[in-house]
Chain A
Amino acid sequence: MIETIVAPEDLRDCVASRLGSGYRPLTLVGTDDRAAGEGFAIHPVLLGPGGATLAMRAPLDRNAPRYPSLVPIAPGFHWDEREAQDLLGIVPEGHPDPRRLVLRAEWPPGHYPLRKDFRPDQIPPLPRDDSFDGHVVGGHEVTEVPVGPIHAGIIEPGHFRFSTVGESILHLDAQLFYTHRGLEKIVEGHDPLRALAVAERCCAACTVSHAAAFSLACEDAAEVTASPRGAWGRAVLLEMERLYNHVGDAGNMCSGGAFAVGAMTGARLKETVQRALDRLTGHRFGRGALVPGGLRRDIPMEVCTEIRRSLGAWRARIGDFRDLVLGSDGFVDRMRRTGVLSAQAVRDLGGVGVLARAAGVDVDLRRDRSYSPYDHLSVHVPTQSAGDAEARFLQRIAEALETLEILRQLLDAPPAGPIAAPVPTAEHPGAIGLGAVESPRGACVHWLRLDGSGAIDRLRIRSASFANWPIVPLAAPGNLVPDFPMINKSFELCYACCDR
């Protein structure tokens, strides 16, 4: 991928003009380039109409890296800029909310873990107490309700601070990055295969998407494409991942509304698909199945045949599940007009995936920035318009049925040939690669740069959950506190792949 060099003072105008002509944010990466005799740099990447990708690089000062914040014109970069400020000390001037995001108040100022000269002895001892640095509403009869990071159910950790009057939510601030593990630092210096083992472990529910996005990024940097069979197998696994997530997430919405039969039916469907994925890859989440260039080992054709034969039965079971849920007036009443997101809010903040499409924002990377083999398939993208929890339920069901259709197209025409193409990253020192796939939750973007030996110099993972989490609190005000579990489950975002 070739980057356009832009002076930091021109960056805002440059991005603004592109956003005006239909571009949208894809990722924003900060890098420490001082070892190469330069300073720091900030790399915004935008996706335009027809799949055009605009990658920019703004070189910044060596000693005081700063640039005019893009957030006033591109709110979708809100968290990316705060993250680069925490981890690299790159200051976005004029950012409307420059609080810490990834690191907490206990982390000493002036220590930036993603800088290349960060030393292990600069890691402070483990903190003893948690802190909350969020926005709350003050005033008479306003009550603050703190929830988490340890929740009542089996869900991941995040802290939600509700400002309420009676049962109604006035305002919600979510504090995340509890599961921040510093994975992007760990892969620095790893060869691509070793880095892939870390990258695909940043989240289990999106394992295949992360492995595919990382592989596409390596292929982009090495200027090769996956082998036809490798790309085909990758798509089969991506669609299987989408399928088990969508039916499982739709079922989990039922447990958010105490509709046990629906929850169990969804869980049973999910287990059926996960067991098929296990037989395809040897792992219930599909780990270790992909490599840059294609598949790590061929997927067993007898299992593919079995899955092809099961598609009709799966379609019938998903239809039955949908009818079961929509047949419960009480539960539909819980979902309808609950957690409404407007299409405008989604567009402004760069929402992706089910969250966006359920609000009527028609984005899907399988079509908008197509990658092999989706460019040869017919990909129909369903959308809803209501933007409430019910629309997100219906959207998941519609997408799951569409996924069965894509799986049918794939399984009917398996290409022959080598399972993987060689990806000679060592021949492309310093190259930059971008991999973007449509994960079950939306755009999953891996941006990487190789070092002089073809190993990973910098990897930034921007998952769909990272793009969508800042939007979730907008769906809460006006709803009842007891409806929030249902609202949260209707988005079902990962914490692990947001926090990394």
Chain B
Amino acid sequence: MRPLFERFRQRGATAGYPVVAEPAPSIARGFPALDPALCRGHAACAATCPTGAIRVEDGASGGWRWLLDLGRCVACGRCAEVCPTEALRIDPAYEFVYPRREDLVRSVTFQATWADPLPRPAEALRVRIHTIFGRSLHIRHLDVGSDNGADWEMATLLGPVYDVQRLGIDFVASPRHADMLLVTGAVSRNLAPALTHTYEATPEPRLVVALGTDACGGGITQGSYAAAGGVDRVIPVDYYIPGDPPRPQAIIHGLLVALGRRVAVAATRDRVVAIPGPQGGGRTWKGSPSG
């Protein structure tokens, strides 16, 4: 009886998410966010990024464009440390899930004068798979070369604190029983055949979700002889959940968005701003970062 009483004494462990918001700690290692008022186009961030996730392109008449690819960004935070104008800060937000690979790229365009915002891409019609799967989703986990971070967080979802079964979500032992493949890792050479075979063994309709930065766009494996550079290089992907690894709440958020049960946090993917500073200011730096 004592173990039973002890369980009662400890009370419930399950967290309130997704009903109650659970912000990450303020010092959390999230993705970088650019403050356009401070950016001077030094591109020190692009030079230091270990995965080439940040690019700074030259624009017309002294303008420039800053791009961040969440399929490559492993949230190491080095960019924020090297930015000479402190234009980058690390944003602890984590609720990210996108239906297209190109949605993972955010950009800020610095123009000499204000211009109309870039048109948002037309929303493609998506198959409303959630009406077929209803309130119950069966997932097959597939590790195709991850660092085991996203996989441990996925296992955590089945624990007492996150308990995704209360949301009608469960993990199954075989792809034959699955509605969704939740894929982690950049697709190593040695697992590419297993990925294809598992995909083929999953009955239609099926959803494929790339979980974690490595799965979304190769992440840390850029240029490797032994990795394909992302799940969508091998099989079609329906949703991308970036993160290194995504927090358990971020995985829950992504799954619920994929099911149409939660609305994705609207992200301003592409912004156009004026070059900051007095009288247009301008770029204080141009050329190679070492120069």
Chain A residues at the B interface, C-beta cutoff of 8 Å:
104, 106-107, 113, 118, 120, 123, 126-130, 149-150, 152-157, 177-183, 185-186, 190, 193-195, 197-198, 201-205, 207, 261, 264, 267-268, 270-271, 278-279, 281-285, 287-288, 297, 300, 320, 323-324, 327, 494-496, 499
Interface range on chain B: under 10, 10 to 19, 20 to 34, or 35 or more?
A: 35 or more
Q: What is the CB-to-nearest-CB distance from B290 to chain A, in angstroms, rounded to a whole number?
A: 12
Q: Are A197 and B225 in contact (CB under 8 A)?
A: no
* B285 at interface, CB cutoff 8 A: no
Given A153-B173, A494-B148, are A120 and B225 also a contact pair (CB < 8 Å)? yes
Taken together as a complex, chains A and B put the C-alpha atoms of A297 and B175 apart, in Å, by 44
Contact among A185, A271, A278 with B225 in the assembled complex (CB-CB below 8 Å):
A185
B161 at the interface (CB under 8 A from A): yes
Q: Does B134 reach chain A (CB closer than 8 Å)?
A: no
Residue from B76, B185, B219 in contact with A179 in the complex, judged by beta carbons closer than 8 Å: B185
Query: How many Å lie between the Cα of A150 and that of B187 in the bound state?
Result: 13
Within 8 A of A (CB), among B50-92: 50-51, 74-78, 90, 92
Contact of B142 among A127, A150, A193, A282 (CB under 8 A): A150
16 additional A-B residue pairs with CB within 8 Å, beyond A126-B189, A180-B189, A197-B74? A127-B193, A156-B146, A179-B143, A180-B188, A180-B190, A183-B220, A186-B224, A204-B150, A264-B160, A267-B156, A282-B24, A282-B90, A285-B245, A288-B75, A288-B76, A496-B147
| Pairwise interchain contact A181-B224, C-beta atoms closer than 8 A | yes
Residues of A within 8 A of B185 (CB): 179
Cα distance A130–B193 in the bound complex, in angstroms: 6
Sample (8) of A-B pairs whose CB atoms are under 8 Å apart: A127-B193, A128-B196, A154-B155, A180-B188, A181-B145, A181-B227, A182-B224, A285-B245
Q: Determine if A179 and B24 form an interchain contact, defined as CB atoms under 8 angstroms apart.
A: no
A126 to B145, CA, bound (A): 14
Other-chain residue from B159, B173, B227 in contact with A268 (beta carbon distance below 8 A): B159
B29, A282: Cβ atoms under 8 Å? yes
Q: Which residues of A contact B239 (CB under 8 A)?
A: none
Q: Which residues of A contact B25 (CB under 8 A)?
A: 278-279, 282
Tell me the nearest residue of chain A to B82, going by C-beta: A193
Q: A197-B220, A327-B3 are in contact. Are A205 and B28 (CB under 8 A)?
A: no
Q: Does B127 sit at the interface, judged by CB under 8 A? A: no
| Given A201-B244, A271-B159, A494-B148, A181:B188 Cβ within 8 A | yes
**Is there an interface contact between B143 and A261, defined as CB atoms closer than 8 Å?**
no
Nearest-Cβ distance from residue B88 to partner chain A, whole angstroms:
14
Q: Is the CB of A181 within 8 A of B186?
A: yes
Bound Cα distance from A106 to B188, whole angstroms: 13
Complex formed: what's the CA distance from A17 to B29 in Å?
A: 49
- A194-B48 in contact given A156-B151, A182-B227, A268-B159 (Cβ < 8 Å): yes
CA gap between A267 and B188 in the complex, in Å: 29
Contact of A271 among B78, B161, B189 (CB under 8 A): B161
* A150, A195, A202: the one within 8 Å of B198 (CB): A150
Q: Which residue of B lies closest to A152 (CB)?
A: B173
A180: chain B residues within 8 A (beta carbon): 145, 188-190, 226
User: Are A182 and B225 closer than 8 Å at their CB atoms?
Assistant: yes
Contacts of A107 in B (CB 8 A): 189
Question: Is the CB–CB distance between A268 and B29 below 8 Å?
Answer: no
| Complex Cα–Cα for A342 and B214 (A) | 39
B225 contacts A123, C-beta separation under 8 Å: yes
Chain A contacts for B142, CB-based, 8 A: 150
A179-B28 in contact (CB<8A): no
Asked if A129 and B193 sit within 8 Å, CB to CB, the answer is yes
Known A186-B222, A202-B147, A271-B161: A154·B154 in contact at CB below 8 Å = yes
In the assembled complex, the CB of A202 is this many whole angstroms from the nearest CB of chain B, namely: 6
User: With a CB–CB cut-off of 8 A, which chain A residues contact B145?
Assistant: 178-181
Give chain A nearest CB distance to B68 CB in angstroms: 16
A261–B13 alpha-carbon span in the complex (Å):
13
A128 to B27, CA, bound (A): 43
- Which among A128, A179, A185, A204 is the interface contact of B152 at CB below 8 angstroms? A204
User: Is A204 touching B193 in the complex (CB atoms < 8 A)?
Assistant: no
CA distance A392 to B105 in the complex (A): 46
Taking CB atoms, residues of chain A closer than 8 Å to B224 are 181-183, 185-186
Q: Is B34 interfacial (CB 8 A cutoff)? A: no
For A126, give its contact among B48, B153, B234 (CB under 8 Å): B234
Known contacts A182-B224, A267-B156; is-contact A154 B174 (Cβ 8 Å): no
**Known A154-B154, A190-B50, A197-B78: A287·B143 in contact at CB below 8 Å:** no
Complex Cα distance, B6 from A327, in Å, reads 13
Whether, in the assembled complex, B228 has its beta carbon less than 8 Å from a beta carbon of chain A, the answer is yes
State whether A205 touches B194 (Cβ < 8 A): no
A contact residues around B153 at 8 Å (CB): 284
Task: Report A-chain residues with C-beta under 8 Å of the C-beta of B188.
Answer: 178-181, 499
Within 8 Å by CB of B161, from A113, A181, A268, lies A268
Interface assignment of B111: CB less than 8 Å from any CB of chain A: no
Residues of chain B within 8 A (CB-CB) of A270 are 156, 159
B192-222 vs A, Cβ < 8 Å mask (1 yes, 0 no): 1110101000000000000000000001111
Cβ of B158 under 8 Å from chain A = yes
B149 to A186, Cβ gap below 8 A? no
Cβ of B171 < 8 Å from any Cβ of A? yes
- Flag whether B119 is at the interface (Cβ < 8 A): no
CB 8 Å contact bits of B158-177 with A (1 = contact, 0 = none) = 11110000000001011100
Q: How far is the CA of A139 from the CA of B28 in the complex (A)?
A: 58
The answer, yes or no, to whether B278 is at the interface (CB within 8 Å) is: no
CB pair A182 B221 closer than 8 Å: yes
B141 at the interface (CB under 8 A from A): yes
